[in-house]
Amino acid sequence: MSTNRMVSTTINGEDMALIIDDRMTLLDALRDRAGLTGTKEGCLSGDCGACSVIMNDRVVDSCLVMAAEAEGAAIVTVEGLADGTELHPLQRRFLEQAALQCGICTPGFLVTAKSLLDRNNNPSAAEIRLWLAGNLCRCTGYDKIIRAVEGASADLRAAKG
Amino acid sequence: MKPLEYHAPTSLDEAISILKAEGSQAAALSGGTDLIIQNRARPLDLAHMVDIKRIPELNVLEYDAKNGLRLGAAVPCYKVAEYEPIVRLYPALAEGAELIGSIQIQSRATVGGNICNGSPAADTICALIVLSAICAIRGPDGNRDVPAVDFMVGPGETALKPGEILVEMRLPPPPAQSSNAYLRFIPRNEMDIAVVCAAANITMDDKGVTCTAATVAIGAVGPTPILVQAAGAVLTGAKLDAAAIAKAAKAASAAARPIDDHRGTVEFRTHVAGVLTRRTVELAAQRIKEDAK
Ligand SMILES: Cc1cc2nc3c(=O)[nH]c(=O)nc-3n(C[C@H](O)[C@H](O)[C@H](O)COP(=O)(O)OP(=O)(O)OC[C@H]3O[C@@H](n4cnc5c(N)ncnc54)[C@H](O)[C@@H]3O)c2cc1C
Ligand code: FES
Ligand code: FES
């Protein structure tokens, strides 16, 4: 018999109670129990970052977090970036710069970049590259992604005035 | 996949009693960046994961000039690399912790997990060895201390006995006129496991001329990390000139017992062990000079 439990967490600002199996990772719970399929599964070994989410203000690979660990935690997934129908500056800039092709890596890049901009709204290109080193993209060659993050950081600074 | 039960004890004794009762079916879960991946491979097939991050003793991070540093085993690497007293006084440890994985991995991976995993290429073990860290262990039979140099006993094997937990690492306060450094060689810029790594801890006399104490450790060049006593011996009492440092580098190469694999040949690893020894000694000496300014 497997061990099930209820986990109470806040996901994208909303209190949620998820019934999970203790074998599940946070990635499984988000996709299969919370129905939030924006978070992607890639390597399951911490290398690709497609599963990145923010947990208690730190970006983590959700494939390397047990679902039960989310008890009491505050989690932000890619679905939490937009404000209603208003896209986050990162999302707008990714579209404008065509910083995606197949798109499987994009949610992970957006979440990881958000965790950087939440901390530092004026990162250098080198800082952006270092912060995104745990996110792999097989399509774009990264330059457009870096430019999109730079653009979004300028937007955020301008909005702050 | 068989059932798994997750536990989140808030006391050490509770964690130890679960680990003891479940034996090889149970493992401590710290940041999970080694354990969760290993448990996906069949052989581990755990029935119990004991999350140790909610235990207060494992989250200690404090420094004072009299007692030195106390680093709880479950403190994540990003905190270690940011903690001002570590950056200033134990830079080798900050450098090791900072190199582990990506930003995502840094949020989770711990120094405790790094050494309990038992890899001879672990990025924090050489620093802990040269900084004379003591590993404070608690288990069913009480508390015991193991020096970092004796903590790893073989690839994937540590001094921990069944049911035991690494609680914290204690690092003595560094003497005046001393500093330390850690470097690793990897074929890429980031996100890779050390092909060779080295740490050095150097103390100079009051005038900054003669070396009064030196410790060098090398990793990924044997089944366990190696404390190169001969390197420390040639540096102690010497002026840190090129000739003395070259002798220490030679001693490190002589102590290396690497394997051949696709990431580096025996010859290459032996050579690099010497190069990194020279560079860490020079870097530590440089830091002493800068601190004196
Ligand atoms: C993408 C990626 C990149 C990586 N890069 C590096 C790197 O550059 N350098 C490097 O050295 N490592 C690297 N690692 C390996 C890993 O991240 C580190 O070894 C990390 O420090 C492990 O810590 P943890 O807290 O996640 O350990 P866990 O996975 O939680 O535990 C590791 C082992 O130690 C045991 N354990 C943990 N804590 C205790 C304790 N307090 N008492 C008793 N037993 C305990 C666990 O049961 C388990 O067997 C990488 C891993 C990934 C996935
Ligand atoms: S799926 Fe988690 S890092 Fe690749
Ligand atoms: S857009 Fe295809 S992997 Fe990044």
**Domain endpoint, select from A80, A107, A128:** A80
**SS3 (DSSP) at B167:** strand
| ipTM at complex level | 0.97
Mean pLDDT for the stretch of residues B235-260: 96
Residues B42 and B60 both lie in one domain: no
CATH number of the CATH domain containing B217? 3.30.390.50
Mean pLDDT for the stretch of residues A40-68: 98
pLDDT over 90 (residue B293): no
Mean pLDDT, chain A, as a whole number?
Answer: 96
Q: How many residues does chain B have?
A: 293
Q: Looking at ligand 1, which atom is closest to the CA of residue B58?
A: 41
Residues A25 and A69 both lie in one domain: yes
Residues A15 and A73 both lie in one domain: yes
DSSP assignment of B241-263: -HHHHHHHHHHHHHH--PPPBTT
Residues A69 and A47 both lie in one domain: yes
Q: Give the number of other CB atoms < 10 A from CB of residue A82.
A: 14
pLDDT band for B274, please (50, 70, 90 cuts): very high
Chain A residues with beta carbon closer than 8 angstroms to that of B78: 58
Residues A70 and A106 both lie in one domain: no
User: Mutation test of ligand 1: which of B105, B128, B144, B158 has the most ligand atoms closer than 8 Å to its C-beta?
Assistant: B105
pLDDT number for residue B43: 64
Residues B239 and B157 both lie in one domain: no
CATH number of the CATH domain containing A72? 3.10.20.30
pLDDT number for residue B115: 98
Residues B71 and B37 both lie in one domain: no
Helix (H) or strand (E) holding A91: helix A89-96
Alpha-carbon torsion, ordered A58, A61, A64, A65, to 10 deg: 40
* Nearby residues of A12 by Cβ (< 8 Å), 6 or more positions away: A75, A76, A77, A79, A80
Residues A8 and A73 both lie in one domain: yes
In this structure, which ligand is nearest to the CA of B191?
1
Q: Give the number of other CB atoms < 10 A from CB of residue A123.
A: 18
pLDDT band for B236, please (50, 70, 90 cuts): very high
pLDDT over 70 (residue B1): no
**Domain endpoint, select from B155, B171, B187:** B171
- B164 Cα: distance to centroid of ligand 1 (angstroms): 17
Residues A97 and A121 both lie in one domain: yes
Residues A68 and A40 both lie in one domain: yes
Range of the domain at A18: 4-80
pLDDT over 80 (residue B42): no
User: Which class for B208: exposed (0-12), middle (13-18), buried (19 or more C-beta within 10 A)?
Assistant: middle
pLDDT number for residue B45: 78
CATH number of the CATH domain containing A143? 1.10.150.120
| Neighbouring-strand partners of residue B179 | B202
Range of the domain at B265: 178-292
Mean pLDDT, chain B, as a whole number?
Answer: 96
pLDDT band for A111, please (50, 70, 90 cuts): very high
User: How many whole angstroms separate alpha carbon B281 and alpha carbon B101?
Assistant: 25
Q: Is B68 left (phi over 0), alpha (psi -120 to 50) or beta?
A: left
| Crossing angle of the two packed helices B242-255 and B266-292, in degrees rounded to 10 | 140
pLDDT number for residue B188: 75
**Domain endpoint, select from A63, A80, A97:** A80
pLDDT band for B24, please (50, 70, 90 cuts): very high
pLDDT digits (tens, 9 = 90+) for B115-150: 999 999 999 999 999 999 999 999 999 999 999 999
pLDDT band for B73, please (50, 70, 90 cuts): very high
Q: Is A137 in the pocket of ligand 3 (CB under 6 A)?
A: yes
**Domain endpoint, select from B171, B186, B211:** B171
Residues A32 and A55 both lie in one domain: yes
Considering only CB atoms, A60 lies closest to which of B1, B108, B191, namely: B108
User: How many whole angstroms separate alpha carbon A67 and alpha carbon A88?
Assistant: 27
Q: Number of structural domains, chain B?
A: 3
CATH number of the CATH domain containing B18? 3.30.43
Residues B38 and B117 both lie in one domain: no
Residues A12 and A55 both lie in one domain: yes
User: How many whole angstroms separate alpha carbon A88 and alpha carbon A76?
Assistant: 13
Q: Number of structural domains, chain A?
A: 2
pLDDT over 80 (residue A1): no
Q: What percent of chain A has pLDDT over 70?
A: 99
**Domain endpoint, select from B171, B190, B205:** B171
pLDDT digits (tens, 9 = 90+) for B150-198: 999 999 999 999 999 999 999 999 999 999 999 999 987 667 889 999 9
Chain B residues with beta carbon closer than 8 angstroms to that of A115: 103
pTM, entire model: 0.97
Residues B143 and B44 both lie in one domain: no
Residues A41 and A104 both lie in one domain: no
**Domain endpoint, select from A59, A80, A101:** A80
Task: Label the pairing between strands A4-11 and A74-76.
Answer: parallel
Residues A67 and A94 both lie in one domain: no
Mean pLDDT for the stretch of residues B204-232: 97
